[in-house]
Every structure is written in structure tokens, then in C-alpha cells.
Structure 1
Amino acid sequence: MPLCGGYPRAVFSPQGPSLRELCVQALSSVERGYDLLAPKFDHTPFRTPQSILAATTEALSELGPFGEGLDVCCGTGAGMLVLGPLCEGRVTGVDFSAGMLARARDAHPEAAWVRADARALAFVEDFDLAVTFGALGHFLPAERPALFEGVYRALRPDGLFAFPLGAPPPLTSLAHWTTLGFDLAMRVRNVVRRPPFVMYYRITPLSAIRDDLTAAGFSVDVVGLTALGQLANGSPRYGLVLARKPADAY
């Protein structure tokens, strides 16, 4: 989910939401906000770009094929473009926004769709591959353990949880100050208005994500998604986090 700094007309298509609609969404809860945005979500820059989906699919294809697949916080179903080619069994999306699920169901009727809170997944060893795209910023650090423990339970032994994670932008870059400003604005919004809208870009550093995944029982590796470009220092702009449930887990 790329950051949209401001509301440039060149980024939002005519089919996308108006500025007023985005403001109403931002002043709602996360669930209500995404219900409101769902009909136009695929016409915003918040939808995971095809380039990230394609790079993820290519990287995971070297580790598959897989059996059953799960998209955690599936939104309108973009992750099915990854799970579909990689999974030989059924694919399932889970989200707590009824509006998002309705759009996903229309776009991918062949998949199964479940409305649930990702912090309290009820699946037990049902899947071989789980993915998520652009959702981690919706979980406060204290909520990540429940999320990761639920995904761990949902996977079969030797199952894989995979998701792309962008490198932090350089301190001197416009992206750094834009994300910092966005997060500060969201924190102020959540102090003065309830219910909160949790969406932060700076609470998911790789070191913290790795620690939380390891605490949940995963072994963790990261591979560079080189097709998505490099930073000035030569490191990849995006990495693919690969969290593996041990084959002897019980």
C-alpha cells in the first residue's frame, strides 16, 4: 500500500474517491472507513501495485508449488493474483471489512472469503502459504503478536508466511518526511477523535517484525525483490519476508 502524500489529480483516476470521501474515511474507524472506500479502492494508489504482486509471485514460485493459500487482510482481493498461480488447492481471503469482501468476492468468485478480525484468526493448520499486502500498518506493535500467532496456527507444519516490506526511505528524502508527517497527523487525529483510524507507516521496521515473528515460532529470512529497484546505497527497495513454520511443529 504505497503512501499517498496529498491528493494529486495525476495519481487518482476519475473513478477514484473524491477528497471529501477520503476525509470521511479518515475520520471513521478502520472497518467503517474501508467499507466506505471499498467501491473505489481499486482506483486509488492504496491498492498494492501490480509490480509488487508480480515480484512477490516470481520470488515465491521458486519455493512452491503450494497447497492451500490464505490472504490475510485481503481487501478487494489483489493477493489472489499471487495465490492463484502458486497454490494447487483452495485459496481463501480474510478481512473484517464487509465492503472489501463484497468487492473481492465479485472479482474472484472462485475463492473462499471469510469475514474475521485478523488478530483472532480461527484457522488451525488449514493452509500451506499465507500472504499479506500493505496491512501491517493497521496493527499497533502490541497487536502484532496476536496477528502473527494466528497466522502461525493457521499454517500447516513447514508452511510459509510471506509479505513484501519496503526499506525505510533515507533521512534526506522527501519520502521520509512525507511518511513522518503522515504518521504524526494520524497520531494527532487519533488523540482528538474516536474511534481511532490505525494506519501508520513507521511502526513496521524489519527488526521489530523479525522479533515478533520469531517470538510467534517462525524462522525468518528476507530475500531482496531486486525487480523493484535499489536505493542509492545499492540495497533493494523492497524485501520479501519469508517466515517459515517449522516442519516438526505441533
Structure 2
Amino acid sequence: MFTSQGPTVRELAAQALSSVERGYDLLSPKFDQTPFRTPDRMLDAVEETLAQREGSFGSGLDVCCGTGAGLGMLLRLCRGRVTGVDLSAGMLAEAARAYPDERVDLVRADARALPPGPADPYDLAVSFGAFGHFLPAERPALFSGVHAALRPGGLFAFPIGAPITPASAAWWAVTGFDAAMRVRNAVWRPPFVMYYRTFPLGGVRADLRAAGFTVETVPLDHFGRRPDGTPRWRLVLARRATGAPVGRAEDE
């Protein structure tokens, strides 16, 4: 929830009527006091799962790093350098203040056109809470850029929630939000792209495979299971192929 140190209604309105880049520049000083920041509980669950399954990594990349919520996790998981990429200069400035570690590099760039990485490609890429800013047609460019930034065998990991149904109050909330954003973008410029229901696992899996990844998911049982026994959250593990033909990976 918002805290007393968070943005005011007027500040949120100014953000909503701006472009994505300008909106986050405006919000950045108070972003960590909003519910939009990835919760530490999610970061801890992803870190624990990656550490148990993969051990440690060489270098790491945080795609759309924002104020740096995922950078601390990468610093613990990775032995080498860690890079955060974001479109907003304001968000990167907050990340720089939060993580003055000499192993951290921060790069301002559009995730749909990632700049060339270091001479040694990354071993691990992660992303948290940013995919609503990309329309489905933009996913192939996003995933292809991450694929190019990883070494063969490198891993792209991110959490994804289970589908919600119309029987849930959350379904009506996110559907209403997405509808309001579509109306806003139809009548106001510049657009502010942020939708909650444009990143389904099936389409995401297909786009990742088309970009050259093998894909599996593992349950994040830290968040429990739904009444039908399926996990509320999964961790997507998309691995850049090592040279063999891309095949079908079974989901757990």
C-alpha cells in the first residue's frame, strides 16, 4: 500500500498523464514507497530458487531495473559484475544511490533495443514487474535482445503469476485498470503503456522459444497454491540454447 512518504494523488495523476519515461522520472524519488516496487518476499523467493537450482553465476543483468530492487539479489547471486538497464534516468539515479557498489553498472537504454553487453556475455538476466510496459507485439524484440546479451547456456529468469478468474475481485480490478488505460491512451498523448493482462504464460512461452530459448517453469511454493493445486506463482527459466536445436522443455 502507499505510505505517507509516497506520492500524492496529484503526483500520481501527473505521472499517469506523462510518457512512460517522464512518468517514472517524476515518480522515482518516491517509487520505493509505493506498492509498485517488487516486494522483498518475491525477490527472496526468486533468489532462493535460483541459488538452489543453479548455484552462483558469473555476471548478471537486471532488465528494467527501476530503482534497483533486484540488484541486491544479483550481487549476492553473481560473482562478477552486475548491470541494471532502465529507460528512466530518474529511476537509475535512485538505483545508483541505493547501490554504490563498484561491481554495479547502470545503463540508460530502452529494453526493446538493449545496447551491446560487455565483452563477456551475461550468465543471468532477470526482470521484475516491468512486462506490463510492453505490448505483445514488442515481446519478440525484448526477448531477442535478452537472448543476444546472454552467453550460450545463460539463463533469463522472471516470476509470473497464475491466471486470475472473473470470480476474483482482482480480475475485475486489473480488467478495469487495463480498460481505463486503453481509454487514456486513445484520447491522450503521449501514451503511457502499462497493462496487467497482456503477459499470459502461453504467449510468453511461445515468444521465448521463437527467440531461441528453451523454457521451463518451476513453482514458487513460497506463495502457496490455488484450490485446484496449481501454484499461485511460477518462476520462468528461459535458457539460451548452447548450440543444439531448440526443443520442447517440460514444465514442472
Scaled by the length of structure 2, the TM-score of the pair is 0.93
- One-letter code of the match for 2:107? V
Give how far 1:233 is off: 1.6
The count of residues paired between Structure 1 and Structure 2 equals 240
Q: Does 1:100 align with 2:91?
A: yes
- One-letter code of the match for 1:178? A
**Paired-residue identity, %:** 64
Residues 36-91 of structure 1: per-residue CA shift (max 9 Å, x gap): 00000000000000110000001100212100000000000001122111101010
Match of 1:127 among 112, 122, 125: 122
Residues 129-168 of structure 1: per-residue CA shift (max 9 Å, x gap): 0000001110001111000000000000100000001111
Q: After the TM superposition, which of the residue ranges 240-249 and 187-196 deviates more from structure 2? A: 240-249
Distance in 2, Cα, partners of 1:215 & 1:174: 34
* Alignment-derived partner of residue 21 in structure 1: 11
**Secondary structure, counterpart of 1:23 in structure 2:** helix
**Secondary structure, counterpart of 1:16 in structure 2:** coil
* Alignment-derived partner of residue 52 in structure 1: 42
Q: Does 1:109 align with 2:104?
A: no
Give how far 1:236 is off: 1.0
Give how far 1:22 is off: 0.5
Match of 1:175 among 170, 173, 177: 170
* Alignment-derived partner of residue 162 in structure 1: 157
Q: Does 1:242 align with 2:237?
A: yes
**Secondary structure, counterpart of 2:139 in structure 1:** helix
The structure 1 segments of at least 4 consecutive aligned residues displaced by more than 3 Å after TM superposition are none
Give how far 1:229 is off: 1.9
Give how far 1:123 is off: 2.5
- Contact preservation (8 Å) 1:53, 1:81: no
Give how far 1:15 is off: 0.6
Gap regions ≥5 residues in structure 2? 245-252
Distance in 1, Cα, partners of 2:7 & 2:146: 32
Give how far 1:246 is off: 1.1
Distance in 2, Cα, partners of 1:159 & 1:88: 15
Distance in 2, Cα, partners of 1:232 & 1:183: 26
Aligned-pair Cα RMSD in Å: 1.2
Distance in 2, Cα, partners of 1:64 & 1:160: 12
- One-letter code of the match for 1:246? A
Distance in 2, Cα, partners of 1:42 & 1:146: 28
Gap regions ≥5 residues in structure 1? 1-10
**Secondary structure, counterpart of 2:231 in structure 1:** coil
- Contact preservation (8 Å) 1:51, 1:228: no
**Secondary structure, counterpart of 1:51 in structure 2:** helix
- Contact preservation (8 Å) 1:152, 1:216: yes
